[in-house]
Chains A and B, each alone.
Chain A
């Protein structure tokens, strides 16, 4: 991994992003409520450029009609099919085998392989040094 200076802090204000090319790959660097996150600019589903995605919060509900809305600005929705990605981890909220699923259905045969699937956006470490946003990729 190498360090890449992506931009000055001022160039990526909260709620915005900048796409940089590193070793032939486009990486989108987002400012999420003052913290920077970097994600491969390619949705693992069908390849859409995630930099165009809507930034939303996380909605959860255990019962019909409940909309508990938290983490505003931390969820990225793919600009095409709307898959939700946690910008901190890259994990999709709609991974059928995701860790937040309460229980695995009893009907599934034991020993089944839980498949990786295309449910994770590739993330990269990024931090701020003085006035610069620095990416490790």
Chain B
């Protein structure tokens, strides 16, 4: 990609049909682990009860912070994302969503015990299907997989694949090994085979300090650091040849931010030009690989102070195919219903709100099972 081959045609006269939006990141919170007991095998049910496995609330997502949920989106217990009725109202009625992809970012994906993690992930997916997907045909979901154990993850993918309402495989953003490593390849292979993108969601299992400098003192610093972690993961996926090995695989960076993307692409291209010999399977510029195979959900928009800078950033991204509309409900990133940035042309909006998602998630239209 040389020069501004892409022009975002950013003109602020947009108005788009409500109800056409595909919201690619809506959080579901499991209010209580006891809700999973009916879905667990007896051994695991007893394990959870007798051992007192409870409260797997994530360090990465404490639910009482101002970011975790907007006040007007919390239920009477003060939780956000835990009620189907509220989610429907806010995501579909208020924000104009027509379809939503549910991401249950939950503690099973941070446990060390791979078999316990697998049992709990299976139960969460069962619970999602029965308590959410069965109750509203507009709802889709990501398959929560026990990444700690690749074979178990593959088994879970195979089990869910027949249910077309599961449209993605969900991984936390920062794990034990960078995402390009062979450990994950069976997961990618199964996902590719079933037309399931890999959703890499901001967050960390804290197997490592969230930054290369160690552990910051504050949640705010950890949260901000997720963007840099995602940048490193992108580099791993490209440099380890994931898109050479799995050419039909799509990866969606969820809640990662994206205004950093141009600077990342430039730097990736620069080091590739110097060191292509080290990774010869990266046979074209990393920016091309990312534009073709990676997507980014809209919220949070780490927006510049001026519309002009935002327009320029979108132009520098160089493609109208990489952004996917999302609210990141119920996280508090915007007020009222101001989920969209200003200044987008009708064509760009159409891609953002639904076309890109339809291309990225073939199963939304009853694609490959």
Binding site for B on A (CB under 8 A): 56, 59-68, 77, 81-84, 92-94, 96-97, 100-102, 105-109, 111-115, 117
A residues near B281, Cβ cutoff 8 Å = 61-66
B residues near A109, Cβ cutoff 8 Å = 5-7
Q: How far is the CA of A105 from the CA of B285 in the complex (A)?
A: 11
Binding site for A on B (CB under 8 A): 1-3, 5-7, 240-242, 244-245, 269, 272-277, 280-281, 283-285, 287-288, 291-292, 318-322
Q: Is the CB of B3 within 8 A of A115?
A: yes
B residues near A84, Cβ cutoff 8 Å = 276-277
CB distance from B208 to the nearest CB of A (A): 23
Q: How far is the CA of A124 from the CA of B291 in the complex (A)?
A: 37
Q: Is the CB of A96 within 8 A of B245?
A: no
A residues near B6, Cβ cutoff 8 Å = 107-109, 112
Contacts A108-B6, A109-B5 known; A60 to B274 CB distance under 8 Å?
no
Q: How far is the CA of A40 from the CA of B7 in the complex (A)?
A: 36
Q: How far is the CA of A65 from the CA of B322 in the complex (A)?
A: 28
CB distance from A84 to the nearest CB of B (A): 7
Q: How far is the CA of A119 from the CA of B277 in the complex (A)?
A: 16
CB nearest neighbor in A for B280: A61
20 A–B contacts, CB within 8 A, in A order: A59-B280, A61-B280, A63-B244, A64-B242, A64-B281, A81-B274, A82-B275, A82-B277, A83-B274, A84-B276, A94-B272, A96-B285, A96-B288, A105-B1, A105-B288, A106-B321, A107-B321, A109-B6, A111-B5, A113-B5
CB distance from A62 to the nearest CB of B (A): 6
Q: Is the CB of A101 within 8 A of B283?
A: yes
B residues near A105, Cβ cutoff 8 Å = 1, 288, 291-292, 319
A residues near B322, Cβ cutoff 8 Å = 107
B residues near A62, Cβ cutoff 8 Å = 244, 281, 283
Q: How far is the CA of A94 from the CA of B285 in the complex (A)?
A: 7
Q: Is the CB of B284 within 8 A of A96?
A: yes
CB distance from B10 to the nearest CB of A (A): 14
A100-B283, A107-B6 given; name 10 further pairs at CB < 8 Å.
A59-B277, A62-B244, A66-B280, A92-B273, A96-B288, A106-B321, A108-B5, A108-B319, A113-B3, A114-B2
